[in-house]
Structure 1
Amino acid sequence: MGDAKDQHNQGLLLVKTGPTTNNAAALAELKKVRGMTVTELGYDIRKAGANSASPLGSHCGAGAPRFNVQMADGNVAFVGCNSPPADVQVPGTGWIRLRWNVAFPNVRRILIVFDEGQDPSGGPDQFGAAFLDNVDVNGKLVGQGQVDPD
């Protein structure tokens, strides 16, 4: 598992400290998606074992981390880590690859949102964090944020 082109071996850490009821979230926006028809979304999530619902490793709940996909007509669709269940779930060493087959025409914006916290309503793990890598849009791994000049 992994991306042979990823020479820096970097990922995305999303964290929400405090309870789920806090009005706060970690967000990552995917660029260059406007006008696309999206048929596949996914990521690799840091997990020990093969069960995405396990409390070990990253939080993987029904609503976080999730893709929020806004279409040009104003409709918004949600694809959560465990809701709906992933169409493809491949365990690796310390990671699980999750992929969803979707049908989102004329996309305007895609966000990855993490808003479940460190409390019982945040899931069985009460972890408040997710480690993601190899974010996938239509089979293409997307990738790196702004580079810090330092």
Structure 2
Amino acid sequence: MNFGQGMTTRTSVACCVGDACRTTTVTVPPANTKPNGRSCRGCYAFNAAQCNEQTIACAGSETHCMDAAGTVTIGGSQMQSVMKGCVSESICAQLKVGSGTVAGMSASLTTAKCTVASGAAGAAPGPAGLLLPALTGLLLLQLLS
């Protein structure tokens, strides 16, 4: 995920059942910073309902544009968050309005939308699913199943 202004994040998810969860290793995919010819409007903001958008170049597998906003709660403190930028199709497949909790941080998305990034042939709306924004350091986005 690339939100512009040097803010990028990579995630990986592994599924397991029972004893297999003790030995399952989750590795973060390598960064691919090679521009792919697509672009999105991107920005991020905390404690704000909107952010200052700018056009950003997508890279690697980032073929879709994400627009997500909602409230993140950490340690009892709520914070409005806005995230827009280039993401992979797999992130879009998990994006939808909703709430959940991960590692003691809860999030509730009120806006959750994906579209195919400009510069791609045959642009069409992206798929929908569930995405949880969580704050770790500046920003950590976690997928919620």
TM exceeding 0.5: no
Q: What TM-score does the superposition give when structure 1 sets the normalisation length? A: 0.27
Q: What TM-score does the superposition give when structure 2 sets the normalisation length? A: 0.28
